[in-house]
């Protein structure tokens, strides 16, 4: 008998261990290179099948109207794909969200929520789509969604959709939320954004992995200088955390992170974070926990 609900579904955050802008396409999208790292801190989603065909978000998410929510849009796209493939519309879903990840934090929260929703609904609806199918469905909605569906540490190219598995560091991270939301468009439209970083290879990245923290010193985040200029709290968080290691901003901001070889080291730094900021620790993940939960082993 098919399941009618899936509760306590994890939607983990991601960190960009480096992020280089290597060019710009004619359509205005920027060409990127990055390594995406999943961490064990994120949102939690709950799904219940409905008796009708509506997709309903039962939790309020401040600043995100339901119609614009990536979760709702992703589930509707999967519904339409099911109709096309199977000739019938699957039942609707109620979605409740325990939101932990901040808006405009560079942690991929909205994209991660959408990816978890796609994996959960694909299972509940017995839709039969493979990971590659879901990635193709998610890409038009958000460039980070394919990574979360890919579900492991990845070297990313293009606009972030070309992914190859890569070994990441086995470390703990301290993440500081500077208390500002950084709109991605403000960073990518800045005149002083670096757009010509020299392309690198996976081998270049892998050679940068020396010891537990050596990897985080590889490359840079080309968006960081712009974000730090436009949003002083980001610059302040980078400066403070930088006293404890190689601090770096993730994504287009605003969150700042630093790697540590042990949980004890992370705890020591966490205790010193100024009270004006929210901060937390997280372990690097090698596999998306939804893959384990749903026993998804293919790409």
In tens digits, what is the pLDDT along the chain, a chain of 299 residues?
A: 579 999 999 999 999 999 999 998 888 789 999 999 999 999 999 999 999 999 999 999 999 999 999 999 999 999 999 999 999 999 999 999 999 999 999 999 999 999 999 999 999 999 999 999 999 999 999 999 999 999 999 999 998 889 999 998 899 999 999 999 999 999 999 999 999 999 999 988 887 654 444 445 688 999 999 999 999 999 999 999 999 999 999 999 899 999 999 999 999 999 999 999 999 999 999 999 999 999 887 65
| Domain that includes residue 108, residue range | 5-166
Q: Which of 166, 182, 210 is the last residue of a domain?
A: 166
Give the pLDDT score at 209: 54
Could you tell me if 207 and 111 lie in one domain?
Answer: no
Per the domain annotation, does 145 fall within a domain? yes
283 is annotated as an active-site residue: no
Give the pLDDT score at 216: 53
The residue from 43, 113, 144, 222 that is catalytic is 144
Q: Total domain count for the chain?
A: 2
Per the domain annotation, does 231 fall within a domain? yes
Could you tell me if 37 and 66 lie in one domain?
Answer: yes
Give the pLDDT score at 212: 45
Residue 154: closest CA among 172, 168, 141, 144: 168
Q: Which of 166, 185, 215 is the last residue of a domain?
A: 166
Could you tell me if 106 and 181 lie in one domain?
Answer: no
Distant-in-sequence, close-in-space partners of 10: CB < 8 Å, separation ≥ 6: 42, 43, 44, 116, 288, 289, 290, 293
Per the domain annotation, does 297 fall within a domain? no
Could you tell me if 178 and 277 lie in one domain?
Answer: yes
Per the domain annotation, does 112 fall within a domain? yes
Give the pLDDT score at 295: 87
Could you tell me if 93 and 197 lie in one domain?
Answer: no
Could you tell me if 158 and 197 lie in one domain?
Answer: no
Give the pLDDT score at 161: 84
Residue 283: closest CA among 60, 37, 78: 37
Could you tell me if 101 and 243 lie in one domain?
Answer: no
Residue 11: closest CA among 35, 40, 37, 34: 40
Length, in residues, of the chain: 299
Could you tell me if 160 and 217 lie in one domain?
Answer: no
Q: For residue 90, what is the DSSP state?
A: P
Per the domain annotation, does 295 fall within a domain? no
The residue from 14, 43, 99, 281 that is catalytic is 14
Give the pLDDT score at 204: 87
Q: Answer for the pair 5, 120: CB distance below 8 angstroms, yes or no.
A: no
Residue 120: φ, ψ to 5°: -65, -45
Q: Answer for the pair 230, 252: CB distance below 8 angstroms, yes or no.
A: no
Per the domain annotation, does 205 fall within a domain? yes
- Kindly report the CATH number assigned to the domain that includes residue 75: 3.30.230.10
Per the domain annotation, does 245 fall within a domain? yes
Can you list the positions of beta strands (E) in 50-178? 55-57, 93-98, 154-157, 162-165, 172-177
Give the pLDDT score at 25: 86
Per the domain annotation, does 299 fall within a domain? no
Could you tell me if 162 and 179 lie in one domain?
Answer: no
Q: Are strands 55-57 and 93-98 parallel, antiparallel or unpaired?
A: parallel
Could you tell me if 224 and 272 lie in one domain?
Answer: yes
Give the pLDDT score at 26: 86
Distance CA 123, CA 75 (A): 12
Long-range contacts of 200-205, Cβ-Cβ distance < 8 Å, separation of 24 or more: 200/20, 200/33, 202/155, 202/164, 202/166, 205/18, 205/35, 205/155, 205/166
Helix or strand holding residue 233 (H, E): helix 232-242
Could you tell me if 94 and 148 lie in one domain?
Answer: yes
- Kindly report the CATH number assigned to the domain that includes residue 241: 3.30.70.890
Give the pLDDT score at 68: 96
Could you tell me if 74 and 102 lie in one domain?
Answer: yes
């Amino acid at each position: 008998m098919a399941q009618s609900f899936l509760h306590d579904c994890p939607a983990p955050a991601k960190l960009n261990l480096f992020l280089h802008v290597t060019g710009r396409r004619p359509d205005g999208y920027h060409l990127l290179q990055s390594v995406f790292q999943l961490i064990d801190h994120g949102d939690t989603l709950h799904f219940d099948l409905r008796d009708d065909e509506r997709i309903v978000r039962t939790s309020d998410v401040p600043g995100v109207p339901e119609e614009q929510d990536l979760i709702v849009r992703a589930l509707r796209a999967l519904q339409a794909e099911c109709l096309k493939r199977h000739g019938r519309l699957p039942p609707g879903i109620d979605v409740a969200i325990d939101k932990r990840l901040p808006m405009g934090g560079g942690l991929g929260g909205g994209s991660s929520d959408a990816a978890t929703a796609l994996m959960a609904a694909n299972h509940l609806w017995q839709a039969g789509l493979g990971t590659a199918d879901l990635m193709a469905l998610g890409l038009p909605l958000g460039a980070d969604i394919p990574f979360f569906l890919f579900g492991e540490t990845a070297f990313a190219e293009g606009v972030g959709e070309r992914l190859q598995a890569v070994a990441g560091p086995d470390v703990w991270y301290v993440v500081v939320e500077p208390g500002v939301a950084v709109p991605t468009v403000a960073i990518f439209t800045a005149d002083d954004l670096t757009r010509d970083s020299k392309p690198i290879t996976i081998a270049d990245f892998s050679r940068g992995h020396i010891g537990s923290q050596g990897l985080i010193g590889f490359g840079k985040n080309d968006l960081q200088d712009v974000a730090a200029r436009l949003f002083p709290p980001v610059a302040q968080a980078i400066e403070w955390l930088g006293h404890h290691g190689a601090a770096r901003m993730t994504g287009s901001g605003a969150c700042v992170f630093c790697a540590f070889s042990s949980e004890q080291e992370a705890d020591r730094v966490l205790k010193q974070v100024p009270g004006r900021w929210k901060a937390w620790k997280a372990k690097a993940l090698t596999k998306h926990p939804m893959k384990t939960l749903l026993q998804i082993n293919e790409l």
